[in-house]
Amino acid sequence: MTIADLRTSLRTVPLPRPWGADVPANHVVVCEVTLKDGRSGTGFSWTPQIGAHAVQALLDHDLREALIGLPAHPEVVWDRLWRHLREAGPGGITTIALAGIDLALWDLRCGERGLADVLGRRRDEVPVYGSGVNLHYSLGELVAQVRRWVAAGYRGVKIKVGRPDLAEDVARVAAVREVIGPDRLLMIDANQRWDLHRARRAISALREFGLHWIEEPLPADDVAAHVELRRSIDVPVAVGENVYTTYGFRDLLAAGACDVVQPNVVRVGGITPFLRIVELARTYDVPVYPHLLSDVSGQLALALPLPVMAEDVEDASFAALGLLEEPYPVNVSDGVLRASEHAGLGLRWSR
C-alpha cells in the first residue's frame, strides 16, 4: 500500500514547571500520514526550545512531495528520505522532521496491536526514575521535588548539575542523597556544561554520593574528551540525548566513550533509527536508556534486550501536558511504567 498524503499541525503547550526562563513551553508537530486505502497513522516531531517552525516547513515543503507514492514501509521510507534530505545536514532539524513521518508509519505498521508487542515485548513493566530540569530551582524547591519522587515510589532520581560554583553542586547533590537514602539510584546530568578539566574536578567532588551515572558531562560531539574522561573516573558515563545519527552513536561506542547510551526517539529520526542504535549498542554490551518522551519511549523500553529504566520528567509527558486524550498509552504507578491496551502507538491527540 502506498502513501497518499501527509498533514501536519503545530502545537505549543506551556510547561507547568518551566525548564528555565528560556524554555517555558514544548513544541509538537503532529504528523498524519494517510494511505491510498484511507488508513492513517499519526506520529510527531518535537522540540523543547527552537526549530519547530523550521521542522514543520521541512515536512510540508520538502518531505511531503517526496513521501507521496512511496510504499508504507518505515525502513524503506526512512532510508529514501534520509538521502533526500542529506543536503540539509546530517541530523538536527532533518532527523527531527523524519521522526514525525517514521512514527506515523510505525503507528500504521502496528495495526491493532500495541508497539511493544509488535517489537517483541520482553517485560510487562519497567522501573521509573524521576527526572527534573531543575538547575534553576532553589535548594528548597529541589528537595521538595525529590521528596515527591520518593513518595511516588520511584527507584531512582536524576538532577541537574553545573552551577558556576562547584560547592553549590556538592551541597545540592548531598541534600538529594540525604532525602532518597542509600538504596535509591542517584544520577546527575551536566547537560554539556563542563570541559574535561572541570568535569574531572566536579566528578571527584561528587563521587562520594554514590552516583549511578554522570550524564552529558562534556560537549556531545567531543568523542576524544569522553574517552579521556571515562579512563580517568570510576563513575559510569551516559551520553546520547544530543546525538542525532547512528554514526554518532557508532563513533562513541567504538571509541569506548560511554557506559550508557540515551537516544531520544525524535532527535535520532524515529523508531527505525532508534532500533538500529539499540542493536549497535547491544554488540558492545552497552544498555540503552531512552531519553524523555515517555509516552512512546516507555513502550520502547518494554522491548529492549538489556536492563532499562524509563525516564519521567515531572509534569512533562504529553499526557501531563494535556496533549493526549485518555486512555493514555502508558501509565506510571508504584514506581513502574506499564503500557495500556491500545493499538499502534496509542497516541490519541486532544482537539
Catalytic sites, residue numbers: 160, 291
Element containing residue 5 per DSSP (H, E)? strand 3-14
**Is 192 within 8 Å of 162 (Cβ atoms)?**
no
Q: Where are the alpha helices (DSSP H) in 3-138?
A: 52-58, 64-67, 74-85, 93-110, 115-119
Which of 140, 165, 256, 156 minimizes the C-alpha distance to 209?
Answer: 156
| Cβ atoms within 10 Å of 18's Cβ, excluding its own | 13
Q: What cell was used for 109?
A: 505498521
Phi (first) and psi of residue 11, to 5 degrees = -125, 130
Distances (CA, A) of 209 to 183, 311, 347: 11, 21, 39
| CB hemisphere CA count around 330 (13 angstroms) | 29
| CB hemisphere CA count around 269 (13 angstroms) | 28
Q: Where are the alpha helices (DSSP H) in the chain?
A: 52-58, 64-67, 74-85, 93-110, 115-119, 139-151, 166-180, 196-206, 223-232, 246-255, 271-283, 294-301
Q: What cell was used for 52?
A: 519547530
Determine the residue type at 39: R
